[in-house]
Amino acid sequence: MNLERIPNEEKLSLCRRYYLGGFAFLPFLWLVNVLWFFREAFLKPTYTEQLQIKSYVKKSALGLIVWVAVLTTWITIFQHFRAQWGEVGDYLSFTIPLGTA
């Protein structure tokens, strides 16, 4: 859908719903929120709802950064220590690479 065509109240409501939805373990939704509403929030001339949209975009960005940090840490730990964890490592693994320890 084209953001140009909908009134500002609907834009705000959409941004808000995307923001709230992201709390359900959905950092991707926050990413989409940030990318989609970035122009609306920061590069457009001011309108009434823009301040709130800005705040939602910023909060979504913050949440996204937190999730990226958490996931990167976990993935690094897992990839590094998987072999050493033995049984627990295998239990956690969806695919186990062949030919390595």
Partner 1 sequence: MNTSDSEEDSYNERSALVQCESPTIPSYHQDHDMSLPQETDTKRGRPVSSGLDEPGLVERERAATPDGEEEELTLKYGAKHVIMLFIPVTLCMVVVVATIKSVSFYTEKTSQQLIYTPFKEDPNSVGQRLLYSLLNTIVMISVIVVMTIILVVLYKYRCYKFIHGWLILSSLMLLFWFSFMYLGEVFKTYNVAMDYPTLAMIIWNFGVVGMICIHWKGPLRLQQAYLIVISALMALIFIKYLPEWSAWVILAAISIYDLIAVLCPKGPLRMLVETAQERNEPIFPALIYSSVVVLSADERQRNEGGALAQEGVESEDDVALGGRRRCSAEEDLEEDRGVKLGLGDFIFYSVLVGKAAANGGDWNTTLACFVAILIGLCLTLLLLAIFKKALPALPISITFGLVFYFSTDNLVRPFMDSLAAHQYYI
**The residue to which tokens 């939805």 are assigned:** 21
What is the torsional sign of CA 33, 34, 35, 37? positive
Binding mask 22-51 for partner 1 (x = CB under 8 A): --xxxxxx--x--xx---------------
Binding mask 53-92 for partner 1 (x = CB under 8 A): ------------------x--xx--xx--x---------x
Q: Residues in the chain, how many?
A: 101
Tell me which of 84, 87, 99, 101 binds partner 1, using CB under 8 A. 99
d(CA 49, CA 46): 8
- 3-class secondary structure, 21: helix
Residues that bind partner 1 (CB under 8 A): 1-2, 4-7, 14, 21, 24-29, 32, 35-36, 71, 74-75, 78-79, 82, 92-99
